Amino acid sequence: MGGLSPEREVSLTTGQAVFEAIKRNGLEAVAIDVDRKIAVNLEKSKIDIAFIALHGTFGEDGTIQGILEYAKIPYTGSGVLGSSIAYDKVKSKEIFKFNGIPSADYQVFTRSQKKNKTSRTLDLPVVVKPSTQGSSIGISIVKQESEWPKALELAFKYSEEVLVEKFIEGRLVAIGMNGEQPFPIVHIKPKSEFYDYESKYTQGKTDYICPAELSAEEKSACEEIAVKVVRALKGRGVPRVDAILDDQGTPYILEMNTIPGMTPISLLPMAANQAGLNFDELVMEILKTAQLDYQ
């Protein structure tokens, strides 16, 4: 948990909650705050299984997974490749397109294009986001042309590539997955303009409806496409698929989160609770999925 990314504080909160749950279940556990000496610290820890609560760069991008593979320590979440492609929003979009998975029209910007204001081909409004970042860090919704340069500049602070997507009006939903079995769907209703960092991690800033009030057709569409996303991105364990459900009932996929948050107001525990699993039981279910890519 912890680590070196901008999501460090959220990761520490998730990690502490998981650590306490594991201990309540009667298992021996150690909380490892990841730093540059992680390989040495892993060897000293003598752990049998790693529960990854490490959000952001180095935690969700295949890096820590690769270290654990070398150490032959089974770990939770997706494997090296699955983690890497799911964390890279541009690569995820390419895979969605190849597999016929609905996703917003998009454009990719590199640093060389940063100052070229005329190179954007998508009409406003658009969503501007770093390709490799989580927790809505560095994301902007651009509605006016005057906001475009600032949004691009912000996103480039966090990533070498920036993803620009056509803004889709609709309901934001999260589909937690237990393997390929969907949990009850969560409808996310932020009180601010969009589901930003503050909305995600501040009590009372967002309303959540679980199970989401969807028609049978909408529910089925969300569940079917979530399974397709997990397969396409080589998801494993208990990931979460996020989508925008438009007025026609089509779920447009935003991303798959390989290490969903486990804070007191996180989406996955909320969905699992509706399915009859309390927080401690969910933690143990995730722990049981730990494995290695390479035996």
Tell me the CATH number at 279.
Answer: 3.30.470.20
Q: Are residues 176 and 266 in the same domain?
A: yes
Spell out the long-range contacts of 278-285 with Cβ–Cβ below 8 A and sequence spacing 24 or more. Answer: 279/17, 279/21, 280/21, 280/24, 280/25, 282/238, 283/18, 283/21, 283/22, 283/25, 283/51, 284/21, 284/22, 284/25, 285/178, 285/238
Residue-range definition of the domain harbouring residue 145 = 106-166
Q: Are residues 178 and 268 in the same domain?
A: yes
Q: Are residues 95 and 238 in the same domain?
A: yes
- Which of 166, 182, 198 is a domain's end point? 166
So what's the pLDDT on residue 135?
56
Does pTM surpass 0.85? yes
- Which of 122, 148, 166 is a domain's end point? 166
Give the residue carrying structure tokens 């309303």: 207
Q: Are residues 176 and 142 in the same domain?
A: no
So what's the pLDDT on residue 110?
87
So what's the pLDDT on residue 193?
65
Q: Are residues 29 and 89 in the same domain?
A: no
Q: Are residues 123 and 42 in the same domain?
A: no
Q: Are residues 93 and 216 in the same domain?
A: yes
Residue 294 lies in a domain: no
So what's the pLDDT on residue 159?
86
Residue 70 lies in a domain: yes
So what's the pLDDT on residue 133?
73
Low-confidence ranges of the chain (pLDDT < 70): 113-118, 134-135, 192-204
One-letter identity of residue 135: S
Q: Which residues of 180-210 are buried (b: 16+ CB within 10 A; e: fewer)?
A: eebbbbbbbebeeeebbbebbbeeeebeeeb
Tokens of 219: 């529910």
Q: Are residues 118 and 135 in the same domain?
A: yes
Residue positions annotated with a catalytic role:
7, 135, 201, 240, 242, 255, 257, 261
So what's the pLDDT on residue 76?
98
For the chain, the domain total comes to 3
Residue 3 lies in a domain: no
So what's the pLDDT on residue 113?
63
So what's the pLDDT on residue 263?
82
Q: Are residues 156 and 47 in the same domain?
A: no
Residue 1 lies in a domain: no
> Hey, CA dihedral for 61, 263, 6, 48, is it positive or negative?
negative
Q: Are residues 229 and 192 in the same domain?
A: yes
241: Cα within 13 Å, side-chain hemisphere: 37
Q: What are phi and psi of 122, to 5 degrees?
A: -80, 140
So what's the pLDDT on residue 203?
63
